[in-house]
């Protein structure tokens, strides 16, 4: 299959591009599109065969449910039931935006592979003009995980999507770099207090200002993960990634030590380490691009320089996963 990328620029008339995307999805196909967080790989959430193509293109385990994207709160409410007051408050405060709410799905609306057979569904309204336009024209809910090969860093550029999906999907809508750079916060509204299953741009503090106490999932402590996707390897670059305290002396010593073993090293950091073979920026909106850039090098090992106490919680969560919780020592 030939994969076509179409630039969807705000300054030109994009009717034809949207029409192609709409036709593809209505016809049971899969289309990659930008959201404010990362690029998504979208299919009609009511068509099981179409949704199967997402799992196939990504190589995603089928017990990991997908997020459903809709154009508004009103549309979302057509698909869920027993909606708690706090969920409505979150929709008003954070939608459109980087917050996915897990709620009870109305039975027999979504294809069962969207929810991996669960009675619940994750829904969000993305805050991106291209995503919103597409959803409005489609008039259908779109199941869309991140548009990367399963296990790899999520795509924040259309080029990332093309790299992973070339030959596997017909169409990529290119809306430029995504603004946020990491996936949405996932908040489980089916329990009290609500639980953050995946940290993201919308923080615990921001949520608590609107709905009171929110708990952080204990998934990092080895408990059974509640977001099924959390148990799988994530964001992993090819070379092993280690976390290291951001302390120049420590890092320079580590670089020397690794060079002593005749190995090449890539460093992810907020400052340049000239001794490293490669150095890429460490920031929420650059993280996945930096991880993918490491894959373009011959580095044998990657060090990510962090100060856990000061890091953004969502950034730290993704880094710990990418490193499989390994610290350099």
**Strand-strand pairing, 185-188 and 195-198:** antiparallel
Minimum Å distance from CB 180 to Mg ion?
14
Q: According to CB under 6 A, which one of 8, 87, 173, 230 is a site residue for ligand TXA?
A: 230
Which C-beta is closer to ligand TXA: that of 124 or that of 246? 124
Residues 65-104, one symbol each (x = binds ligand TXA by CB under 6 A, - = not), give xxx--------------------------------x-x--
Minimum Å distance from CB 65 to ligand TXA?
4
Which C-beta is closer to ligand TXA: that of 184 or that of 269? 184
Minimum Å distance from CB 145 to ligand TXA?
3
Task: Name which of ligand TXA, Mg ion, none residue 156 binds, using a CB cut-off of 5 to 8 Å depending on partner kind.
Answer: none
Is the CA virtual torsion 290, 234, 132, 17 positive or negative?
positive
Under the binding rule (CB under 6 A), the answer on residue 153 touching ligand TXA is no
Interface with ligand TXA in residues 161-190 (CB under 6 A) = 183-184, 186
* Omega within 30 of 0 (cis) for the link into 278: no
Minimum Å distance from CB 198 to Mg ion?
9
Residues that bind Mg ion (CB under 5 A): 146
Which C-beta is closer to Mg ion: that of 104 or that of 185? 185
Exposure string (b/e) for 10-33, b if CB count within 10 Å is 16 or more?
Answer: eeeebeebbebbbebbeeebbbbb
Minimum Å distance from CB 234 to ligand TXA?
9
Is the CA virtual torsion 277, 283, 289, 295 positive or negative?
positive
Which C-beta is closer to ligand TXA: that of 183 or that of 289? 183
Under the binding rule (CB under 6 A), the answer on residue 115 touching ligand TXA is yes
Task: Name which of ligand TXA, Mg ion, none residue 118 binds, using a CB cut-off of 5 to 8 Å depending on partner kind.
Answer: ligand TXA
Residues 50-69, one symbol each (x = binds ligand TXA by CB under 6 A, - = not), give --------------xxxx--
What DSSP line would sit under 78-119, residue for residue? Answer: TTEES--HHHHHHHHHH-SSSEEEEEEEPTTSS-TTTTTT-S
Minimum Å distance from CB 123 to ligand TXA?
9
Interface with ligand TXA in residues 8-47 (CB under 6 A) = 35, 37-38, 40
C-alpha 124/C-alpha 96 separation (Å) is 8
C-alpha 147/C-alpha 160 separation (Å) is 9
Residue 208 contacts by C-beta under 8 Å, 6 or more apart in sequence?
A: 214
C-alpha 2/C-alpha 41 separation (Å) is 16
Residues 44, 162 contacting (CB under 8 angstroms): no
Q: What is the DSSP letter of 176?
A: -
Q: Sheet holding 241-245: strands in order across?
A: 241-245, 301-306, 265-269, 278-281
Minimum Å distance from CB 215 to ligand TXA?
15
Under the binding rule (CB under 6 A), the answer on residue 145 touching ligand TXA is yes
Token readout for 11 is 């300054």
Under the binding rule (CB under 6 A), the answer on residue 229 touching ligand TXA is yes
Minimum Å distance from CB 145 to Mg ion?
5
Q: State the Cα angle at 254 between 250 and 260, rounded to 5°.
A: 145
Interface with ligand TXA in residues 288-327 (CB under 6 A) = none
The site for ligand TXA (CB under 6 A) is made up of 35, 37-38, 40, 64-67, 100, 102, 115, 118, 120-122, 126, 144-146, 183-184, 186, 197-198, 227-230
């Amino acid at each position: 299959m030939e994969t076509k990328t179409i630039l969807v620029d705000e300054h030109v008339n994009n009717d034809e591009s949207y029409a192609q995307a709409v036709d593809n999805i209505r016809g049971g196909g899969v289309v990659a599109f930008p959201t404010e967080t990362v690029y998504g790989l979208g299919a009609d959430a009511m068509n099981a065969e179409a949704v199967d193509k997402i799992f196939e293109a990504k190589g995603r385990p089928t017990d990991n449910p997908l997020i459903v994207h809709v154009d508004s709160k009103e549309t979302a409410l057509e698909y869920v039931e027993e909606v708690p007051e706090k969920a409505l408050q979150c929709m008003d405060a954070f939608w459109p935006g980087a917050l996915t709410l897990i709620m009870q799905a109305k039975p027999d609306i979504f294809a069962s592979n969207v929810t991996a057979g669960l009675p619940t569904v994750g829904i969000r309204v993305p805050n991106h003009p291209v995503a919103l336009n597409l959803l409005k024209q489609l008039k259908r809910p779109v199941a869309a995980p991140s548009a990367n090969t399963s296990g790899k860093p999520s795509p924040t550029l259309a080029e990332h999507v093309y790299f992973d999906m070339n030959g596997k999907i017909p169409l990529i809508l290119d809306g430029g770099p995504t603004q946020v750079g990491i996936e949405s916060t996932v908040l489980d509204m089916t329990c009290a207090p609500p639980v953050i299953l995946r940290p993201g741009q919308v923080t615990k503090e921001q949520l608590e200002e609107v709905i009171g106490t929110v708990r952080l999932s204990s998934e990092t402590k080895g408990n059974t993960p509640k977001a099924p996707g959390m148990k799988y390897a994530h964001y992993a670059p090819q070379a092993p990634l280690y976390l290291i305290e951001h302390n120049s002396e420590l890092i320079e010593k580590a670089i020397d030590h690794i060079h002593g073993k005749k190995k090449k090293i890539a460093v992810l950091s907020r400052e340049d380490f000239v001794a490293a073979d490669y150095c890429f920026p460490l920031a929420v909106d650059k993280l996945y691009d930096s991880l993918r850039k490491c894959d373009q090098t011959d580095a044998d090992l990657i060090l990510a320089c962090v100060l856990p106490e000061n890091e953004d919680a969502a950034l730290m969560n993704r880094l710990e996963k990418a490193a499989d919780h390994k610290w350099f020592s």
